[in-house]
A and B are shown apart, each in its own frame.
Chain A
Amino acid sequence: MFAAENGLRGDPRLKAISDALSVVPNFPKPGIMFQDITTLVSNHKVFKHTVDIFVDRYRDMGISVVAGVEARGFIFAPPIALAIGAKFIPLRKPGKLPGSIQMQPKSQFYQVDEIMNLCCPGEVISEAYELEYGNDCLEMHVGAVEQGERALIIDDLVATGGTLSAAIRLLEREGAEVVECACVIGLPEVKGRRLLDGKPLYVLVEPRQ
């Protein structure tokens, strides 16, 4: 659901956030209008508004975990975590979290639906998800969350929801309860949808034209 439909209609901060985004055509590939948040975080006032809106929403929800998706989720999630007194958990690309072993060979030996959750014992768990071509993987440290903790997942933008779905699965595998997924920008694919994989989805603005 978009913030404007959920209590923030007419809030001038939403317009400021939208205006602070930049659009870069044909990045990373032809035909994609890339929504660039660097101009937003470069504007202190607007960056603060962005964080404040999320903090106001989540501060009284008993959330003890804020997970951020590498790498742009790392920019928005920690300030939210700090403000609400929650722990921050980075969800990372394969091989980045210490203790992770990048799987060899690569996915050419597996079909997407055959990828088992290959478990690095005691350290890192891994969740595969589909990209337009091929697939990718998201990892989290084992033991970062405890059973029953209430969690938030943050990323800069949601498109198909594939990455967020993988993030939800990772947290649930470790026993967390995912309360909501939140992004600054939501592409048209999510307009009109309140839920992603059964979890509420909260988005501040639509893509800038």
Chain B
Amino acid sequence: MPFHNLQELRHSASLATKVFIQRDYSDGTICKFLTKFPAELDSRIERSLFEETVKTLNCYYAEAEKIGSQSYLEGCLACATAYIIFLCMETRYEKILKKISMYIQEQNEKIYAPRGLLLTDPIERGMRVIEISIFEDSGSTSSSSTGSSPSSATAQ
């Protein structure tokens, strides 16, 4: 059931189920999500689009948690000021979290909402899962057929 825009989704959708993309701990405690394609989304979205989204999110989180010269500088400066600087300044992690929420919003509007899906920002679920809500068109009972509109997800 193709939803051409959020307006349609809004007026005629009802929540069918939610799919949870779990964390991938194979690289340790860093924030990374599994790219395994859930079966429930099989008929709703192309595998490549989904994987692209998750991989881009993983890249963002990896960048946020990267231990490099910039994070050392931030850490040492913070220590020297007895960490008071954390109260005044926005940390690099927080800046990247904002970028992530913009990216998710853009993905939702361009790719997921037209297919009757909705991504939830992982920060709202304690960074444990990416929650994907699947909506069904409450008016129709026909089987789903997603119109494929190729759109490239641009990472910011």
Chain A partners chain B: no
Please list the residues of chain B having a beta carbon within 8 angstroms of any beta carbon in chain A.
none
